Amino acid sequence: MLIQVNALGSDTQNLCRTRVPIPAGAEGVKLVSINIPANAGAFTPEFPIGIGIGTNPVENVDVPAFGSFIDFKLYFNNLRTTVGTNRVFFAYGENEMDLCTDQYDVVLSNELASYLGLGVGLVGNKCYTTTVNLQKLDPVYDYKVVFKAPILAQDHTIGVARSTQSEAYSNEFHPFTEYAEFGIIEIFCRLRSGEEFLATCGDELWGVELEF
């Protein structure tokens, strides 16, 4: 049985933690996916007026903070113009990233250009390659999901996901050791340094999908 657990951060003290009813007759639990705000770890900084798209007129875009570099890169792939909803970028690769413009000339703010290791001006229909130091730019390794209930799982961990909106890449079915009506779901941001802390969600909607 698949269960979608959703909660508002304003109802969970701005943390990705909430109580989950356990369906009657359930024999265990498995993590399927997570969907938390893209800035749940808030490690790429915000870049006000970080991108200027086109000319006459220029459309200026504020680049928000993101929980990991993976989500940051996804933002570039999903960015569209306000008028015409045309694509602006294609982003490929990881440690060595190719950022390709579509039809528009693009101007990056000095801060964003420095962060990416690129020049300020990007010409339309051209690719730019930059080497990304993930140890420096993205201290987030993954997101660990804990289900506090009587289950067979080390430290109550039921799975991990690579980014804030993704399927679990490491998970298995964890049997219950005794009857319980409720469990507590928690999502932790894990850094490459080994540090862990509860992910934050502001007042936004967040959730996990569980299999019972």
Residues 6+ apart with CB under 8 A from 85: none
Closest CA relative to residue 183, chosen from 1, 11, 20: 20
For residue 191, the enclosing domain spans 2-40+139-211
Q: Is residue 154 domain-shared with residue 78, that is, in the same domain?
A: no
Same domain, 54 and 133: yes
Q: At residue 42, does pLDDT exceed 80?
A: no
Residues 132, 117 share a domain: yes
Last residue of a domain, one of 90, 106, 137: 137
68 and 121 belong to one structural domain: yes
CATH number assigned to the domain comprising residue 202: 2.60.120.1100
The position carrying tokens 């109550």 is: 156
- Which residue, of 84, 104, 137, is where some domain finishes? 137
pTM of the model: 0.76
Are 34 and 52 part of one and the same domain?
Answer: no
* Residue 83 predicted with pLDDT over 90: no
Identify whether residues 36 and 94 lie together within a single domain: no
Question: pLDDT at residue 14 above 90?
Answer: yes
Query: CA nearest 16: which of 203, 212, 210?
Result: 203
Q: What is the mean pLDDT of residues 206-211?
A: 97
Domains contained in the chain, number: 2
Residues 33 and 72 in one domain: no
Give 158: exposed, middle or buried? Use CB within 10 Å, 0-12, 13-18, 19+: buried
Q: Are residues 174 and 196 in the same domain?
A: yes
Tell me which of 105, 137, 169 is where a domain ends. 137
**What is the pLDDT confidence band of residue 97, given thresholds at 50, 70 and 90?**
confident
In degrees, rounded to 5, the angle at the alpha carbon of residue 205 between the alpha carbons of residues 201 and 211 is 100
- Contact between residue 185 and residue 168 where contact means Cβ atoms under 8 Å apart: no
Q: Write out pLDDT tens, residues 111-150.
A: 999 999 999 999 999 999 998 777 777 788 899 999 999 9
